[in-house]
Amino acid sequence: MAGTVPGCRRHGIVTQRYVEFHYCGNMESIQAALAFAALGQATRLELMRALLSAGPNGLPAGSIASQLGVPSSTLSFHLRALEQAGLVQATRQGRLLLYAPRIAALRALFAILAEACCAGDPGRCGDLARLLPPTTPEDTAMVPPAFNVLFLCTRNSARSIMAEAILAGLQGGRFRAFSAGSAPAPEGPLPEVLAQLRSLGHDVAALRSKSWDEFTAPDAPRMDFVIALCDTLNLQACPDFEGTHVSAAWPLPDPAKFTGSATERATLLNELYAALHRRLSIFASLPFESLDRMALKARIDELAQPLAAGARA
């Protein structure tokens, strides 16, 4: 690990692989020049803009290549140049390698220009330096990527709504939960389902019945997992959710078809909620980073059989 040059103020991150920024003499100029040179190419500039837009969760190389319209081999060359300049970092998530911008390093780089602007006279340069105040060194690890999970059922009024609410409350934001249906209920989610979720502390304000077509649009979020919760979907042509990592089916009974007294319906809803909560708790605790796609799909498929899933948890 590189050391700090005596008498210098340091910005950014220090590792064996990346540029370290020092605020002093020629060292500052050389290191800043290397980083600016890495950005001084049109594809790399667009690449950095794409990564900054995605934020700290990062993007896989395939998504970046598709977004920029460049071959994978060309993208790898540019990513390597930005990594060597200390402006991009990569982390492995399962079989994917995700890339994200090193925000502290970028701030440090541009602060080199802003710090000495007009000798610090705000009357002449508008106090440009304040646009990029010093920050503490960022952690070398990326923020663990959040997984997008889409739950499907025909009317998107009960099971998938429950699953969306349950997963959204698990694992401190590690998952982004969505739900949709092939023929969404015009009247929206079942009132008794919303009442149950509300009583259990779930935020139901944003829950609504919607078509799965919303998730096939070009600007729709890419789904890492798509899980169908009813049998009837097996007889339908499911859309191609581009980029989906794993799909699965967990058939569960439809609350809209429940019969009986109010007490019996409440009991059945509670049992359905408990079954979903149990499966999703196991799902959320899976070692995503250490399982390849086939192994991960096998573990998720097991959750369709609660006894088998419980044996592996």
Q: Are 306 and 278 in contact (CB under 8 A)?
A: yes
Least confident residue range of 76-80, 90-94, 260-264, 309-313: 309-313
> Residue 44 and residue 50: Cα distance in Å, rounded?
10
On whether the CB atoms of residues 185 and 155 are closer than 8 A, the answer is yes
Let me know whether 227 and 261 are in one domain. Answer: yes
153 with 263, same domain: the answer is yes
In the block, tokens 């050389």 appear at 30
Do the domain assignments include residue 136? no
Domain that holds residue 212: 147-312
What is the helix (H) or strand (E) element at residue 306, kind and residue range?
helix 306-312
Task: Give the pLDDT confidence of 144-185 residue by residue, as tens digits.
Answer: 557 889 999 989 999 999 999 999 988 666 788 999 998 999
Backbone angles phi, psi at 176, to 5 degrees: -110, 115
Average model confidence (pLDDT) across the chain: 77
Residue 229 lies in a domain: yes
Beta strand 147-152 pairing with 175-180:
parallel
pLDDT confidence of residue 139: 43
37, pLDDT greater than 50? yes
181 falls within a domain: yes
Nearest partner of 164 among 183, 185, 148, 184, judged by Cα: 148
Residue spans of beta strands (DSSP E) within 70-212: 88-93, 96-101, 147-152, 175-180
Which helix (DSSP H) or strand (DSSP E) does residue 82 occupy? helix 72-84
- Predicted local confidence at residue 227, as pLDDT: 94
Q: What does the pLDDT average to over 82-87? A: 84
Does the reported pTM lie above 0.85? no
Q: Is the pLDDT of residue 21 over 50?
A: no
239 C-beta neighbours (distance < 10 Å), count: 15
Q: For the domain that residue 78 is a member of, what is the CATH number?
A: 1.10.10.10
CB-CB neighbours of 230 under 10 Å: 21
Is residue 215 domain-shared with residue 97, that is, in the same domain?
Answer: no
CATH, residue 237: 3.40.50.2300
Better-scored residue on pLDDT, 245 or 70: 70
Residues 155 and 274 in one domain: yes
The one-character DSSP state at 224 is S
Residue 247, in any domain of the structure:
yes
| More reliable by pLDDT, 153 or 26 | 153
- Cα(262)–Cα(271) distance, rounded to whole angstroms? 14
Tell whether 2 is covered by a domain. Answer: no
Going by C-alpha positions, the residue among 155, 178, 128 that lies closest to residue 256 is 155
Give the β-pairing of 246-249 and 9-11. Answer: unpaired
Mean pLDDT value of segment 31-42: 85
Give dist(CA 160, CA 89) in Å, integer.
36
State pLDDT tens for residues 39-81: 889 999 999 999 988 877 788 888 888 889 988 888 888 888 8
**Judgement on whether residues 115 and 63 belong to the same structural domain of the protein:** yes
Same domain, residue pair 180 and 302? yes
Tell me what the mean pLDDT of segment 214-235 comes to.
78
1 vs 264, residue with greater confidence: 264
- Please determine, for residue 30, whether its predicted confidence score (pLDDT) is greater than 60: yes
Across 294-304, average pLDDT: 90
Q: Would you say 147 and 225 are in contact if contact means Cβ atoms under 8 Å apart?
A: yes
How many structural domains is the chain composed of?
A: 2
- The answer to whether residues 171 and 264 belong to one domain is yes
**Would you say residue 23 has pLDDT above 60?**
no
Encoded amino acid at 145, one letter: P
Q: Confidence band (pLDDT; 50, 70, 90) for 14?
A: very low
Instruction: Classify 53 as helix, strand or coil.
Output: helix
pLDDT at 232: 56
C-alpha span between 238 and 243 (Å, rounded): 14
Per the domain annotation, does 1 fall within a domain? no
Question: Which of 128, 99, 138 has its CA nearest to residue 14?
Answer: 138
Task: State whether 99 and 175 are in the same domain.
Answer: no
The answer on 215 and 94 residing in a single domain is no
Q: What is the 3-state secondary structure (H, E, C) of 228-271?
A: ECCHHHHHCCCCCCCCCCEEEECCCCCHHHCCCCHHHHHHHHHH
